[in-house]
Structure 1
Amino acid sequence: MDLELRHLKTLQAIADAGSLTKAASALGLAQPALSAQLKRIERTLGGRLFDRGRYGVRATPLGHLVLSRARLVLPAVHQLQEEAVRFARCPDEAPGFRLGATTGPLLGGLVDRLAAVYPGAPVITHISWSEREIATAVAEGRLDYALIGTCGDSPPPEPERLAWREVARDPVFVMVAHDHPLAGAREIELAQLAHEAWTSVPGDGCFGDCFAAACARAGFAPTRLYETDTTSCVHLVQVGRAVGLCRATFPNTPGMVTRPLAGSPLSWRHLVGWHPGSVPPESAAAVVAHTRAAYAEAATRSESYARWLADRTATGPDPWPGDGPSGPRPASGPGARAAGGPPPGLHNAGRGIN
């Protein structure tokens, strides 16, 4: 086996995390898979790179040598990739938009608006379940913008290299079949779903852990989870096989309804990210504005979310007061839509569905 850049990234992740368990989580791998990969790398380099102990892992002398070289090589390669991509994009070429996103109507709405406003500019899309993969592609210059989400106030990936702006923040809703006993409820207590099977799309964020923690606070642990694509998730809900989490702005779909979770125990932030050295400020500002407008359009199509917002506006202050860590949170009342500002939405989360 030849040594590759991905192997150096793996070694650096292990050293930075201080344990194989934490490194596996950061890399989105199972620990046995990471252990097997480390053994292959060690065989290639001719010796043990880490000593495993009671309190984690520690680099051996050979490991220190390899890591010192990796910390020089990896940043240099990242810089080369970014400079090459910027150089390859000819100045007189029509400006385009290379968008990376997890799935959902925000991407479709943004593509529609960009195509309408910039009819001569190519719009290229890349879809992935992994927010980290998308953010890395933007940081390395292979994409222009990342359209992702994070659970609650969790930080987005690549915070040192990318600029992030918050588009909106949603409570997480639950999807149930139209004939489910709780389908007529105005809101549903999470504990009322203790005996249900759940369905969710994959993801590499912390939403799964946050969901498990919310269930534990409600006094139960989910007994079954079907992890699959969005269409299959919806089907499992429609036929009554499972219930699922979704963004509050999930559109009306035959055979199922969406309902708020009482107390809003989970939330999701929509974010747009870009590399400040690769994207002109005016272009970034336009993409953020168009994404917020696309979100506002999606929000108007959800009857249950509109009712939730109306209830909160009538009984108390803005459900999401204050400013978020990446910018001001959007207003939440009907006037926000009329003015073009979006009310707070859930993207996908590994994490519920779109």
Structure 2
Amino acid sequence: MQLELRHLEAVRAIAEAGSLGRAAMRLGVSQPALSAQLRRIEQVTGGELFVRSRIGVEPTPLGEFVLSVACRVLGEMDALTAGTRATAPHPVLRIGCLLLVLVDRLIEPLEEELPGHEIDLTTEHSATTLTRMLGAGKYDAILYGEVGDHEVPLPDGVAARTLVPKEPACVRMSAAHPLAGRQEIDLADLAGETWTTLTDDGDGGPEAMTDACRRAGFTPTLRYRIADRRMRWDLITAGRAVSMCQPTSPQVEGTVLRPLTGDPLTERIRLAWNRSAVTEQRARLLYRAAARAYLDSIPDDTFYRAWWDARPELHPVTD
């Protein structure tokens, strides 16, 4: 076997993620498949590239060498890709997104704001992956969230604009939950709950949630990290966990969405784009399309509609 770019990408992903499980999630493969691939790579390189530690996996001296070469080679390939796209007359507009609710409504305003453009829209589970791929030229623009005080680091050559500076986190729970009948819920009343969250989203969500719970007087039991939205909803419907959610999250049969008293946890939504691939004019149109998608996702006759309408300073500009 000869080393290929996909092998170098696997080595880099493992090093960046710090564990085979998280790396497999980012690469879209199973952990056993990635472990088998790593063993084949190590047979070619002649030794172990990673060793287990109490915090995950760490590269060996041989792994450090292979990783440095991999990053250099992959960086040159990324530069080649970005350069050829910059000179192409009509490149596809490639947009990467976290699993934000507005993504479900993004296609129609994109078609209207950017008529004639071919759109490649991909969702990711990690803001870290999004920003790395943006910097590498594999995405032209990304939509992502930042929870609490967390700021997602952006690569060089990237511009960013805040779409929604603040939205309150809510809690989704089973409709049969003892607190489901309340109009709003004090975070301290959830001290005994088991929580589920997304897997390695990189937006600071789990850390910010833990901090908010500690301020409310308890440490949350975060037992389930599940990327698949349907699986998370089924878990909540069954009463096995509760979860923080965006206030624009859709209704899900068997669950309820409730605001938290005093908004102890908030999120920002941002748009970032690669200046070498997206002009200022196209960036404005992208922003407007995303703003329209967000506004369309706010349901009427809910607590969030009233919360949002009372805060016009947070509203994105769409004209």
Partner Cα separation in structure 2 for residue 68 and residue 233 of structure 1: 38
CA contact (8 A) 1:102 1:130 kept: yes
Question: What is the rounded CA distance, in whole Å, between the counterparts of 1:25 and 1:147 in structure 2?
Answer: 26
Structure 2: how far apart are the matches of 1:48 and 1:111?
Answer: 45
| Distance in 1 of aligned mates of 2:24 and 2:13 | 12
TM-superposed CA distance for 1:167, in Å, is: 1.1
- 1:291: Cα distance to partner? 0.9
CA contact (8 A) 1:199 1:228 kept: no
Partner of 1:346: none
Deviations 1:186-220 (A, max 9, x none): 43122212223333343431322332343344313
Contact 2:97 2:123 in 1 (8 A): yes
Match for residue 306 of structure 1? Answer: 305
Q: 180, 185, 188: which one pairs with 1:188?
A: 185
Deviation at 1:161, TM superposition (A): 4.4
Equivalent position of 1:133 in the other structure = 129
From 208, 211, 214, give the equivalent of 1:210: 208
- Is the Cα contact below 8 Å between 1:183 and 1:257 reproduced in 2? yes
Structure 2 length as normaliser, TM-score? Answer: 0.75
1:83 CA drift (Å): 1.5
**Counterpart for residue 175 of structure 1:** 172
Aligned counterpart, 1:122:
118
Distance 1:52 1:98 in 2: 36
CA, structure 1 residues 139+35, in 2 after alignment: closer, same or farther (shift >3 Å)? same
Q: 1:50 and 1:178 mapped to 2: Cα distance?
A: 46
- Aligned positions, number: 309
Determine the structure 2 residue equivalent to 1:76: 76
Counterpart of 2:2? 2
Max Rg structure: 1
Partner of 2:313: 331
Q: Is the Cα contact below 8 Å between 1:144 and 1:278 reproduced in 2? A: yes
Tell me, what secondary structure is at the counterpart of 1:2? coil
The equivalent of 2:28 in structure 1 is none
**Counterpart pick for 1:198 among 195, 200, 217:** 195
Q: Over residues 224-277 of structure 1, what are the superposed CA-to-partner deviations in whole Å (9 max), with x where a residue is unaligned?
A: 436252233334434544322110222344543322223333222212222110
Residue of structure 2 in register with 1:164 after alignment: 160
- Alpha-carbon shift at residue 68 of structure 1 (Å): 5.9
1:296–1:340 CA contact under 8 A, matched in 2 = no
1:220–1:118 CA distance, 2 compared to 1 (3 A): closer
Q: Give aligned-pair identity as a percent.
A: 33
Give the 3 Å change call, closer, same or farther, for CA 174–281 of structure 1 in structure 2.
same
- The TM-score, its normalising length taken from structure 1, stands at 0.69
CA distance in 2 between partners of 1:48 and 1:102 (Å) = 33
Task: Quickly say closer, same or farther: Cα 1:277–1:288, change in 2 above 3 A.
Answer: same
Change (3 A) 1:105 1:112: farther
Structure 1 stretches of 5 or more lacking a match? 319-329, 342-354
CA distance in 1, matches of 2:51, 2:59: 5
In structure 2, how many angstroms separate the alpha carbons of the residues matched to 1:152 and 1:123?
A: 31
How far, CA to CA, are the matches of 1:302 and 1:159 in structure 2?
A: 40
- Say if 2:292 is the partner of 1:293: yes
Q: Whole-Å Cα distance in 2 between the matches of residues 71 and 98 of structure 1?
A: 23
Which deviates the most, 66-75 or 171-180? Answer: 66-75
Distance 1:301 1:157, change over 3 A: farther
**Partner amino acid for 2:93?**
F
Partner residue in 2 for 1:260 = 259
Instruction: Letter of the 1:270 partner, please give it.
Output: I
User: Where does structure 2 lack aligned partners over 5 or more consecutive residues?
Assistant: 26-30
Whole-Å Cα distance in 2 between the matches of residues 11 and 244 of structure 1?
Answer: 33
Q: What SS is found at the alignment partner of 2:131?
A: helix
Q: CA deviation at 1:128?
A: 2.6
Q: From the superposition, tell whether residues 187 and 5 of structure 1 become closer, same or farther in structure 2 (CA, over 3 Å).
A: same
Question: CA offsets, 1:67-122, max 9 Å, x none?
Answer: 664564343222112123334x3x2x4x7533222334412322111223444333
Instruction: Tell me how far apart the structure 2 counterparts of residues 231 and 35 of structure 1 sit (CA, whole Å).
Output: 27
User: C-alpha separation between the residues in 1 aligned to 2:184 and 2:80?
Assistant: 52
Q: 1:276 to 1:133 in 2, by over 3 A?
A: same
Match of 1:345 in 2: none
